[in-house]
């Protein structure tokens, strides 16, 4: 095209544009609407994300400007049903909406602005790649839970591209174990599981949610266009030289797909016995049991009570060149050096029972069986324990004593169980009071607490009682707690208890007998922590469902 032709075409375009705008303005007047010509008014790029590009293209409407809580919406067809719905959606997010009629040319010009936005907001066309550099910078900004909340509230207005990096930085700095992204009717709720408790981290708008969903799906190799079936995936990031695995679970819901990210950070897992929280008197009795050459040790408690960590710490404690340790897990949560770990695959017939049989042919000294939940596994595990192997496993029972009736329910012969069982451990994780902000409490509960400790040896009760209450500061995200510790109860199988087990005893019978041997319940173990000012009665009651 030569210069003259170009000039002529431009001229024609100008005339055409002029006519188009006049027609649009007239139409707006007739409908009693505001009109705006975007040839003269710039579109604010930061406002574009309120309507995702695909949707904007479809309904030919765009957010031109955000002023305070007011959004100026430009629409080619303001009366269109879908346009009205989008306006309603934005209203429900707390915005006032001013609608302007725009010409098709104005709309096309505004739509062009999308190409200047960070790629993530465009949705499915991103690579999804994580910026480790960004994570490192963000980690410094997100050193407290309060900062994270502020950061998330800013995301809606500014840099939507970094949301995943914000999530991951927070997870690493604050030792968040899970990130929950829950789309609701009008917005998406973000919650973080911190020290076992879900904490509200704010909400994000739909476009931000969609952008992060696409990135997560791309990163973990999930199908972007599949939205109606659950999907599971994973990806890894590097932190301080360690591979941090992120397990992704996506579940279809009423208002979009729920996302849960589980962060498996090997730097965060504490595998030293002293970090677990066994009291000295208890560990002195327990250590000889886990060092026996054979028998079975059971750890009980609900999901998230720290059973796996306890067992890993035991294995690490026992691991030495002369001993062969094999595990059978579902799934392998952390890789332990010098230990052969395997994972069950029930769909391929590699179940706990099958796997245990195979493992026994590998001539191990110590076996970890992730969980015992069927008769066959219970049977093989008991026989392994009676034939020169030390077996560790978990059971989903409420308390340590419950392990015995549960095993009997699984058709274990009571005599076999009685001679195979070394110890049954019950445990919970309680949040520790934040040492930066805890304050002395009035001690009103001390007498009641002591009453609940009347049947335990005097020398175990702390001499100096210092009860504290939670306060909340920047360091603990305002929760008043920081970090967790285990509370425990252990049933040791004494000669008298062995005889009792052989008679198919009830829960109460076992408790009475265990008490004679100095059994302290995990509730009592927790109360001792309260008297030492490490946690609160409220926290112990929460995790044990017991009260003074």
Cα distance between residue 318 and residue 466, in whole Å: 36
Calpha distance 323→320 (Å, rounded): 6
Candidates 366, 423, 437, 510: give the one binding Zn ion (CB under 5 A): 437
Distance CA 541, CA 183 (A): 32
Please identify, using beta-carbon distances, which residue of 296 and 437 lies nearer to Zn ion.
Answer: 437
Residue 277 CB, nearest distance to Zn ion (Å)?
20
The minimum distance between CB 537 and Zn ion, in angstroms, equals: 18
Instruction: Select 226 or 439, whichever has its Cβ closest to Zn ion.
Output: 439
Cβ-based nearer residue to Zn ion, 96 or 436: 436
CA–CA gap between residue 373 and residue 394 (Å, rounded): 9
For Zn ion, give the closer residue by CB, 27 or 475: 475
- Minimum CB distance to Zn ion smaller for 392 or for 468: 468
**Binding Zn ion by CB under 5 A: which of 434, 485, 531, 543?**
434
In the complex, least distance from residue 476 CB atom to Zn ion, rounded to whole angstroms: 3
509, 497 in Cβ contact below 8 A? no
* Among 108-116, 377-385, 417-425, 432-440, the segment contacting Zn ion (CB under 5 A): 432-440
Using CB under 5 A, which of 70, 411, 436, 512 touches Zn ion?
A: 436
Contact region with Zn ion (CB under 5 A), list: 3-11, 92-100, 180-188, 436-444: 436-444
Which run of H or E residues covers position 481? strand 481-492
Instruction: Work out how close the CB of 475 gets to Zn ion at its nearest, in angstroms, rounded to a whole number.
Output: 5
Minimum Å gap between C-beta 201 and Zn ion is: 17
Query: Which residue shows structure tokens 């990096």?
Result: 165
Report yes or no: 186 and 93 within 8 Å, Cβ to Cβ: yes
Q: Which stretch binds Zn ion (CB under 5 A): 28-36, 280-288, 467-475, 499-507?
A: 467-475
Ranked by CB distance to Zn ion, the top (closest) residue is 434
Q: Would you say 191 or 431 has its CB closer to Zn ion?
A: 431
Checking phi first, is residue 260 left (phi over 0); if not, alpha (psi -120 to 50) or beta? beta
**Comparison of 294 and 466: residue with beta carbon closer to Zn ion:** 466
345: tokens are 């695959």
Residue number with CB closer to Zn ion (192 or 407): 192
Give yes or no for a cis peptide into 215 (omega within 30° of 0): no
Indicate the residue among 217 and 432 with the shorter CB distance to Zn ion.
Answer: 432
State the minimum distance, in angstroms, from the CB of residue 344 to Zn ion. Answer: 41
290 vs 434, beta carbon nearer Zn ion: 434
Distance CA 157, CA 413 (A): 65
> How far apart are alpha carbons 371 and 355 in whole angstroms?
12
For Zn ion, the closer CB: 476 or 491 = 476
How big is the chain, counted in residues? 548
Window of 70-78, 234-242, 363-371, 428-436 that interacts with Zn ion by CB under 5 A: 428-436
> Total residues at the site for Zn ion (CB under 5 A)?
6
Which range of residues in 13-21, 151-159, 403-411, 430-438 is near Zn ion by CB under 5 A? 430-438
Q: Which is nearer to Zn ion, 473 or 511 (CB)?
A: 473
- Distance between CA 404 and CA 415 in Å, rounded? 12
Report, in Å, the least distance between residue 349 CB and Zn ion: 51
Full strand arrangement of the beta sheet holding 61-67: 34-35, 96-101, 70-75, 61-67
Shortest Å, Cβ 534 to Zn ion:
14
Cβ-based neighbour number of residue 154 at 10 Å: 12
- For residue 147, list its beta bridge partners: none
CB under 8 Å to 201, separation ≥6 — which residues? 148, 149, 152, 170, 190, 191, 192
Q: How far is the CB of 470 from Zn ion (least distance, A)?
A: 8
- Our CB check for Zn ion shows the closer of 33 and 146 to be 146
Segment 469-498, which members bind Zn ion (CB under 5 A)?
473, 475-476
Q: Which residues pair with 338 in a beta bridge?
A: none
| 45 membership: H or E segment, kind and range | none
Interface map 385-424 toward Zn ion (x if CB under 5 A) = ----------------------------------------
CB of 78 to Zn ion, least distance (A): 51
Three-state DSSP class for 186? coil
Q: Backbone phi, then psi, for 533, in 5-degree steps?
A: 75, 20
Q: Which stretch binds Zn ion (CB under 5 A): 235-243, 269-277, 283-291, 468-476?
A: 468-476
Stretch that binds Zn ion, among 73-81, 341-349, 431-439, 483-491 (CB under 5 A): 431-439
Q: For residues 143 and 128, what is the distance between their CA atoms, to the nearest angstrom? A: 25
Q: What is the 3-state secondary structure (H, E, C) of 382-418?
A: HHHHHCCCEEEEEECCCCCCCHHHHHHHCCCCHHHHH
Site for Zn ion in 503-522 (CB under 5 A): none
46: DSSP letter? G
User: How would DSSP label each residue in 209-239?
Assistant: HHHHHHHHHHHTT--SS--SS-EEEEEEEEE
Q: Is the dihedral of CA 266, 271, 274, 275 positive or negative?
A: positive
Largest interatomic CA distance in the chain: 108
Q: Are 77 and 83 within 8 A, CB to CB?
A: yes
For residue 335 the two structure tokens come to 């890789």
Nearer residue to Zn ion within complex by CB, 383 or 475 = 475
Contact in structure between 310 and 427 (CB atoms under 8 Å): yes
Q: How far apart are CA 373 and CA 383, in angstroms?
A: 16
Does residue 143 interact with Zn ion by CB under 5 A? no
Applying CB under 5 A, the residues found at the interface with Zn ion are 434, 436-437, 473, 475-476
């Amino acid at each position: 095209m030569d210069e003259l032709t170009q000039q002529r075409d431009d001229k024609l375009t100008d005339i055409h544009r002029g006519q188009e705008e006049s027609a649009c303005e007239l139409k707006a007047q007739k409908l009693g609407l505001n009109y705006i010509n975007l040839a003269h008014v710039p579109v604010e790029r930061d406002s574009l994300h309120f309507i995702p590009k695909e949707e904007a293209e479809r309904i030919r409407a765009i957010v031109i400007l955000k002023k305070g809580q007011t959004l100026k919406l430009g629409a080619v067809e303001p009366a269109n049903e879908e346009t009205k719905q989008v306006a309603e959606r934005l209203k429900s997010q707390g915005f006032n909406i001013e609608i302007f009629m725009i010409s098709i040319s104005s709309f096309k010009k505004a739509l062009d602005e999308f190409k200047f936005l960070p790629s993530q907001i465009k949705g499915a066309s991103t690579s999804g790649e994580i910026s480790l550099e960004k994570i490192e910078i963000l980690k410094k900004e997100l050193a407290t839970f309060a900062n994270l909340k502020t950061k998330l509230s800013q995301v809606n207005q500014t840099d939507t591209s970094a949301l995943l990096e914000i999530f991951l930085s927070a997870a690493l700095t604050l030792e968040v174990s899970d990130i929950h992204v829950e789309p609701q009717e009008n917005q998406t709720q973000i919650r973080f599981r911190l020290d076992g408790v879900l904490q509200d981290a704010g909400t994000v708008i739909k476009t931000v949610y969609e952008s992060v969903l696409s990135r997560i799906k791309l990163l973990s190799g999930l199908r972007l266009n599949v939205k109606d079936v659950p999907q599971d995936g994973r990806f890894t990031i590097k932190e301080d030289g360690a591979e941090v695995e992120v397990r992704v679970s996506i579940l279809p819901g009423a208002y979009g797909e729920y996302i849960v990210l589980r962060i498996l950070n090997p730097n965060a897992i504490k595998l030293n016995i002293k970090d677990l929280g066994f009291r000295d008197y208890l560990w002195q009795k327990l250590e000889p049991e886990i060092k026996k050459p054979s028998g079975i040790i059971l750890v009980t408690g609900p999901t998230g009570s720290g059973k796996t960590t306890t067992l890993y710490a035991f294995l690490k404690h026992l691991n030495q060149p002369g001993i062969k340790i094999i595990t059978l897990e579902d799934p392998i949560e952390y890789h332990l050096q010098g230990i052969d770990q395997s994972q069950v695959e029930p769909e391929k017939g590699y179940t706990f029972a099958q796997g245990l049989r195979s493992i026994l042919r590998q001539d191990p000294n110590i076996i970890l069986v992730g969980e015992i939940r069927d008769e066959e596994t219970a049977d093989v595990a008991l026989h392994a324990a009676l034939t020169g192997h030390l077996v560790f496993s978990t059971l989903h029972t409420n308390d340590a004593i419950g392990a015995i009736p549960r095993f009997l329910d699984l058709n274990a012969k009571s005599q076999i169980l009685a001679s195979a069982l070394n110890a049954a451990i019950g445990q919970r994780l309680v949040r520790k009071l934040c040492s930066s902000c805890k304050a002395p409490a009035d001690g009103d509960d001390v007498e009641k607490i002591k009453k609940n400790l009347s049947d335990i040896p005097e020398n175990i009760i702390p001499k100096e009682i210092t009860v504290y209450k939670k306060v909340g500061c920047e360091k603990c995200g305002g929760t008043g707690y920081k970090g967790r510790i285990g509370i425990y109860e252990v049933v040791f199988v004494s000669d008298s208890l062995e005889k009792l087990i052989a008679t198919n005893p009830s829960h109460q019978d076992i408790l009475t007998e265990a008490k004679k041997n100095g059994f302290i319940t995990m509730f009592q173990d927790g109360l001792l922590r309260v008297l030492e000012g490490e946690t609160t009665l409220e926290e112990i009651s929460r995790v044990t469902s017991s009260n003074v």
